Amino acid sequence: MERIKLSKNEKQVMRLLAISRNACPSAMEQHAYNIAVLQLQSRGFVMASVASGGKVVAAELTNLGVAYLAEYPSLRNPINWAVVLSAITAVASIAALFIACGITK
């Protein structure tokens, strides 16, 4: 299973649901909880029951969500190595330019 990028709220909700806490935590606003649960549901990690007003009334991890948490318990987001290598290359090029300009003087 590939690691995917999750928001801070999605990570918090997954951790809460892993310990069977089904309610919105006091540290998170209800609408942020609702959005996180619905995003996780669209990824297949959560099964949720939603009231007519859009409020999440119940949520639980699916087998996929449990498997993802088992494989990536820290829930760290993936690293885009192409961007990291591009940044390192750019810094090295700029450093080389400064060194070359300093040598020619």
Q: What is the CA radius of gyration of the chain?
A: 21
Burial class of residue 46 (count of CB atoms within 10 Å of its CB; 0-12, 13-18, 19+): buried
Q: What is the mean pLDDT of residues 4-17?
A: 91
> If you ran DSSP here, which 8-state letter would residue 57 be given?
E
Q: For residue 29, which amino acid is it?
A: E
pTM: 0.71
Give CA separation, 74 vs 16, 50, 67, in Å: 13, 28, 13
What are the tens digits of pLDDT across the range 42-63?
999 999 988 888 888 889 999 9
Q: Domain 8-78 falls in which CATH fold?
A: Arc Repressor Mutant, subunit A (1.10.10)
Residue boundaries of the structural domains of the chain: 8-78
